[in-house]
Amino acid sequence: MHQKAGHLSEKKESRNLFITVFLNLLISAVELVGGILSNSLALISDALHNFSDGIAILITYITIKISKKAPNSQLTFGYKRIQIMAAMFNALTLIAICLFLLVEAYKRLMKPEEIEGFSMLYIAGIGLIANLAGVFLLKDFSSKNLNIKAAYLHLIGDTLSSVAVIIGGLLIIFFKVYWVDPVITLLISVYIIKETWEVIAETYNILMQSGPKNLELEPIASKIMAINGIKNIHHIHVWQLTDKELHFEAHIEMENDMLLSAAQKKREEVHEMLVHDFGFTHITLQTELDACPRTTLIASNTYCCD
């Protein structure tokens, strides 16, 4: 029953991603034409954001499919990390577009140009509806997948962008303040860079095989060494394979006179504790009766034992 529910959830996730891609690419084409006709840089920037988001979400859709491929003799972890790489690519692409728009907005701010406010307003309104639909479609999945979270942040940025363009259109129609168009572009771009930088930092940490920021090794080691019969724990490695998979490996030194069967039970006890108390999803424990020459908590670049 649980597997069936999971399969239905994955199917819904794929369907929602596909619909969102279609909406983004459609509205980006409409906004680009409208931005050129109305001479609105803010509308063109919104179109480019939507286009980049459509491509980003398409990449997300493809990488989710690829990540489900089975492991093989060369890729023993499978293709799971391709989603993390895609999240990094999506975020870097969006920042590059924002930097380009910042430069263009500065040029337009120095030399404001007349803009057709009504066209800007109508097309931005259509874009807002499409972006809100995309946000609604991906909201439930954004907290479960870092790649979808990156795509979701793209859509949040586009939604705010559409709102800002609508406000700008109203100001241009009623007050003829054409400088508001590049100002809106500047504000939108700065906001999106700020939000996207968090995704880049998180994906970078995962690709560098770092552990979660809030995870400290000393309390874990202390809890393991508090188990009767365990003398020492050392050579610890903790890393994230993806945003949902946390790995742990270590060497555990047992009492010298401990039977193999007893050592196995202690290892199982440590394994259960690491899963339930600290949330590790993949655990490798090497039990030892003799101490290694180097028993530091965190592993060095050298082998534990000669």
Residue 240 has pLDDT above 70, yes or no: yes
Closest by alpha carbon to 173, among 182, 165, 162?
165
The residue segments making up the domain with residue 6 are 2-207
Tell me if residue 249 falls in helix, strand or coil. strand
**293 located within any domain:** no
Q: Do 84 and 229 share a domain, yes or no?
A: no
Residue 168 shares a structural domain with residue 38:
yes
Quick check: is 164 in a domain?
A: yes
Same domain, 141 and 250: no
- Taking the C-alpha atoms of residue 29 and residue 291, their distance in angstroms, rounded to an integer, is 66
Task: Report if pTM > 0.85.
Answer: no
129 and 249 together in one domain: no
Read off the CATH number of the domain in which 281 is found.
Answer: 3.30.70.1350
Domain-embedded: residue 304: no
In the predicted structure, residue 266 carries a pLDDT above the cut 90:
yes
Residue 141 gets which letter from DSSP?
A: G
Evaluate whether residue 18 is within a structural domain: yes
Q: Which of the four pLDDT bands, split at 50, 70 and 90, describes residue 4?
A: very low
- Average pLDDT (48-62) is 80
pLDDT in tens, 151-167: 787 788 788 888 888 99
Could you tell me if 116 and 254 lie in one domain?
no
Residues 155 and 70 in one domain: yes
**CA proximity to 133, closest of 47, 45, 17, 29:** 17
CATH for 108: 1.20.1510.10
pLDDT at 1 over 80: no
Going by the DSSP 8-state scheme, the letter that residue 298 receives in this structure is: B
How many percent of the chain have pLDDT more than 90?
Answer: 35
Question: Do the domain assignments include residue 189?
Answer: yes
pLDDT, one tens digit per residue, over 169-216 is: 999 999 988 899 899 888 888 887 887 888 899 899 999 989 888 899
Structure tokens at 236: 């610890």
Q: How far apart are CA 306 and CA 302, in angstroms?
A: 9
Residue 221 sits in the same domain as residue 127: no
For the chain, what is the mean pLDDT?
A: 86
Number of domains composing the chain = 2
Work out the number of other CB atoms within 10 angstroms of the CB of residue 267.
17
The rounded distance, in Å, linking the Cα atoms of 63 and 91 is 15
Q: Are residues 11 and 73 in the same domain?
A: yes
Task: Give the whole-number percent of the chain exceeding pLDDT 70.
Answer: 92
User: 147, 178, 207 — which closes off a domain?
Assistant: 207
Question: Is residue 301 a part of any domain in this protein?
Answer: no
Residue 294 lies in a domain: no
Looking at the domain assignment, is residue 295 inside a domain? Answer: no
Say which amino acid occupies 150: A
103 shares a domain with 175: yes
Same domain (yes/no): 105, 226: no
- Comparing 7 with 295, the larger pLDDT belongs to 295
* pLDDT at res. 299: 63
